[in-house]
Amino acid sequence: MSLRSIPLIVIAFILYNVVVLMFGVEALANLALPEIHMLSGGNWRFTWGDAIILLTLVLLFIEIVKATYTTTSSLVDHGLSMLVFVACLVEFLLTPQAATSVFFLIMVATMIDVIAGFTIGIRVARRDLAIGADT
């Protein structure tokens, strides 16, 4: 199993759990990274929750790009992505600390990763095998 077959979105899942375990759920909204003074006169407050969501979106993009490859490791990646989604779903349903919007968005991103991975993988495989009418 290569390093490429590990779903990167698990990093956001682990980071969320580390932040919540170390600082509590309140840290997601209350622990702000440095504020940025905007030209409009307002202050942009970027919190840990925002940073985790941003990281999740970047990792989701990378996972979707990885789904365009048809190798044996991509099959392992799809299976592991499904396990990450199931772990997120179970934690969301059973753990009070996961009942936040930040974690819900991480869970939705893992679901999109699973669906996009299988959909893109099937589409690319059809094109590679020249099966179908639109080749």
* Rounded Cα gap, residues 68 and 59, in angstroms: 15
Element (H, E) at 74: helix 72-94
The pTM of the full predicted model, rounded to 2 decimals, is 0.82
pLDDT by residue (tens digit) across 67-101?
887 777 777 888 889 999 999 999 999 999 999 99
Give me the residues paired with residue 36 across strands. Answer: 44
Q: Which residues pair with 47 in a beta bridge?
A: 32
| Tens digits of residue pLDDT in 2-25 | 667 788 899 999 999 998 988 888
What is each CA distance from 52 to 23, 90, 103, 117, in whole angstroms? 14, 20, 9, 22
